Structure 1
């Protein structure tokens, strides 16, 4: 009778060990996904900052272009038409 109990306990511990290993693998998988998400979020922040900078530069360039066009129009008005 005690051999049956011992064998049952060992089988039970083996089952628990398998469950723990399985759970450990799942936790590792989730950890890897979390690391990947963190890296992706970091790159998203970098790209967002770059986009803001580019939009700001584009606005400045558009303003500069408008000023140059106005100056060109004034200069063209000063040149006598032939």
Structure 2
């Protein structure tokens, strides 16, 4: 169980940090303005579009990744153990 915990924790930390970096670049207009969760301004260049997609992907990976390793895999193993017994 420790390996599932560390895999989920690693996904949470790494993807969360990368999401914060990209959200800080693209969503923070100023120090007094809304930060990280503000609306994205403009469509930007091709590289900005890639950054937007990566930002959203990292956010979902930081949410779904730990849930998978902390809840869904242990529940699946528990259910499979009950079915086999």
If the length of structure 1 is used for normalisation, what is the TM-score?
Answer: 0.36
* Larger Rg computed on CA atoms: 1
If the length of structure 2 is used for normalisation, what is the TM-score?
Answer: 0.35
Query: Looking at both structures, which has the greater relative contact order when contacts are Cα pairs under 8 Å and sequence separation is at least 6?
Result: 2
